[in-house]
């Protein structure tokens, strides 16, 4: 009886381990995608700031001809 119970417990633990590993893998994949999105958005913000500065003439030196 004890051996059957131990085998069932081990089997249940193995199944739980498989489920947890699958969930962890899915979360790691989602986190990787999220990190890539954050990096892309950060670059977009930097580019937008640079474009706004350029459009407003900041950092271009004198705008009049001498």
Contact 43, 37 (CB under 8 A): no
Could you report the per-residue pLDDT of 10-56, keeping only the tens digit for each? 999 999 999 999 999 999 999 999 999 999 999 999 999 999 888 88
CA 50, CA 58: separation in Å to the nearest integer? Answer: 9
Give SS3 for 58. coil
Report the pLDDT value the prediction gives residue 63, as an integer from 0 to 100. Answer: 56
- What is the pTM (predicted TM-score) of this model? 0.65
Retrieve residue 15's tokens: 């199944």
What are the backbone angles phi and psi of residue 12, rounded to the nearest 5°? -65, -40
CA 53, CA 45: separation in Å to the nearest integer? Answer: 12
Instruction: Give start and end residues of each alpha helix (H) in 1-66.
Output: 2-55
């Amino acid at each position: 009886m004890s051996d059957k119970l131990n085998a069932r417990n081990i089997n249940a633990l193995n199944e739980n381990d498989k489920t947890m590993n699958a969930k962890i893998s899915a979360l790691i994949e989602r986190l990787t995608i999220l990190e890539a999105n954050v990096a892309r958005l950060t670059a977009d913000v930097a580019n937008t700031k640079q474009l706004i500065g350029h459009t407003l003439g900041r950092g271009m030196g004198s705008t009049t001809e001498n």
